[in-house]
Each structure stands twice: as structure tokens, then as C-alpha cells.
Amino acid sequence: MEKFKVRKETKFVFAVQVGVETFFLKAQAIQDPYSGMSSHGNFIPVRIEDYKFELVKEDKCTFFNNVSEFVKMIIEDRQLKSRFDSLLATNGLSVKDVALQEIYGEEVSIHTNALRYLV
């Protein structure tokens, strides 16, 4: 499994666009975030499995153990699936391409492509 690096701050948010709706996926480390710290103490190697995810949409909160569970939920939800299908058909994209479009958070810099292969 590929690794990506985050700073000492081990919380971040995915903004996931599904059709015209945006879902926010809050991520927080579920393992000791300092277990893989480099000798300089600046970066921590973190695998996607080391995080617990929380989907936040209006007043609803759903917990996911990983991004794969989140993508599975989207695929299994009929309304979301129809949005995905039309989005995929018009853009020729895969679920992986659509599910993780933008990542942002305090003191965190991770390119979307770094997570694409982890789903």
C-alpha cells in the first residue's frame, strides 16, 4: 500500500463532489500519529487505513473506517449512484476519479492523486 505524508496535525477534511452536492469527510488518525515520525519530526508516514472517517452532510453524521467504505456507500445509494452514473457517462471518469476530488486542511498538503490508488 502506498504511503503519503502529513504534518504533525493528523486531522484533515476531504471535500467530495457528487453531482451538484458536496460532502465533507472528516478524517482523524486512529493509531498513534507519532509512531512513524521521521528523525526530524516534521513528517509522519500515514496509511489511509490509519484513519477513521466521518461523513458530514447537513445534520447527518456517518462514520466510516476507510475511504473504500465511503465509496461503497455512494455506489449502493440509489440516488447517489444515479448521479455518479450520469457524471461518469458524461465525463468518462471512474468512481475513483470522482470520489476524491479535493483535499484540504490545516497544515496538510496531500495531492488528490496520492489517494486515488488507495481507494
Give me the average pLDDT of each 10-residue run along the chain (119 residues): 41 56 60 47 47 58 60 62 62 51 33 37
Q: Identify the pLDDT of residue 1.
A: 37
- Closest by alpha carbon to 24, among 36, 12, 33? 12
Structural contact between residues 77 and 58, judged by C-beta atoms closer than 8 angstroms: no
Q: Identify the pLDDT of residue 92.
A: 60
**Count of Cβ atoms closer than 10 Å to residue 64 Cβ:** 18
Segments making up each domain of the chain, as ranges: 4-114
Q: Identify the pLDDT of residue 101.
A: 39
Which position has the grid cell 500519529? 33
The backbone torsions φ and ψ at residue 74, rounded to the nearest 5 degrees and listed phi first, read -60, -45
